[in-house]
Amino acid sequence: MTSAVQSIPVHLRGTCLPGGEPIEFWIRDGLISFQPVRGAQTLCRRGWILPGLVDAHCHVGIKYGGGHEDRAGAIAQAEVERDVGALLLRDAGSPIDTRFIDDMPELPRIIRAGRHIARPKRYIRELGIELDDERTLPEIVAEQAEFGDGWVKIVGDWIDRSVGDLAPLWSDAILKEAIDAAHAHGARVTAHVFGEDALPGLINAGIDCIEHGTGLTDDTIELMVSHGTALVPTLINIDTFPSIAAGADKYPVYQRHMLDLHARVRETVGKAHDAGVPIYAGTDAGGSIVHGRVSDEVDALRGAGLSATDALGAACWDARRWLGRPGIEQGASADLLIYDEDPRSGAEVLRNPAAVVLRGVVVKG
């Protein structure tokens, strides 16, 4: 492989997934072309070629361990994602404005959901917008729809210390108003949900995606299928539930609930997949999960019953289609990964692409 300069056209040949068919194309002015380009330098003669990976739930701007990142810290997080091949990030809520990253072509593209929307004392302190009166939810959702990149993030449930367990934050009626408001502004809505009780109201209100979804049951899985609701299960984050429970001795009902949700999460996700719920890979990086672990999430999805191809698609071609971003297509930005081995063979291979191409430039490899 050779380095590429954006003004110099390059040529690639290899194997394309998911079908495994041979593919040959060129990059000119940062864009993919299936028409031969005279004078192109060959970047890849063989190997596996993918569109850039997607982390469909991460938080650029939340410091590992908690708190707000500064500009340099947010850039460092984006660099980590880029180097493991995650070239498209759906930022599911950040306390800082990361739009300056859009002006840095060497960093991944970010689709933002604005800030988390929660109630006082019902989410992680200082991360979200806290509403004293739930009746203002539609107004704030509309504001965040204008601020984000086509997504809004609400907190659907959290521990209610007055009852000692997970409980919904919003009434069903106000959720319907809020989600309708987001849709009227051209945005989709997703929600943090751990438990069971908040799910019917959110899904029936027309929410577009559920984050985590550990409390899904056969009934709410069926409801998601009928509404076309997507799921981003963040399995590597759910693996932190035992440590969360260990620190919750004051709330034994919540403690047992979290352990139960953790124990059955892979079975839950497997049932959702088998039923036809669209599932996408997100790590929840930022806070308790370090950035750059999308390959581990792909492996976790395989452990929940997805095939190797489906699990990779959940972090690649399928996720890109869901988010409205192109893959390897005529005229698309050349955001590509090149592997010497089949990237479906495991996390070690997937996290170590031989080359990373972003906007037509080799940024690693």
Q: What is the DSSP string of 18-52?
A: TTTEEEEEEEETTEEESS--TTPEEEESSSEEEEP
Query: Are residues 149 and 119 part of one domain?
Result: yes
pLDDT for the residue 126: 85
Domain residues for the domain of 60 are 53-322
CATH number at residue 252: 3.20.20.140
Query: Are residues 192 and 174 part of one domain?
Result: yes
User: Residue 5 — very low, low, confident or very high, per pLDDT cuts 50/70/90?
Assistant: very low
| CA-to-CA separations, 153 to 112, 139, 168, in angstroms, rounded | 9, 14, 15
Condensed to tens digits (0 to 9), the pLDDT of residues 41-64 reads 999 999 999 999 999 999 999 998
Residue 5 falls inside a structural domain: no
Which tokens in the block code for residue 199?
A: 């799910």
Structural domain count, the chain: 2
214: left (phi over 0), alpha (psi -120 to 50) or beta: alpha
Whole-number percent of the chain with pLDDT over 90: 95
> CB–CB of 308/48 below 8 Å?
no
Residue 2 falls inside a structural domain: no
pLDDT(6) > 60: no
Query: Are residues 355 and 296 part of one domain?
Result: no
Say what the pTM is. 0.96
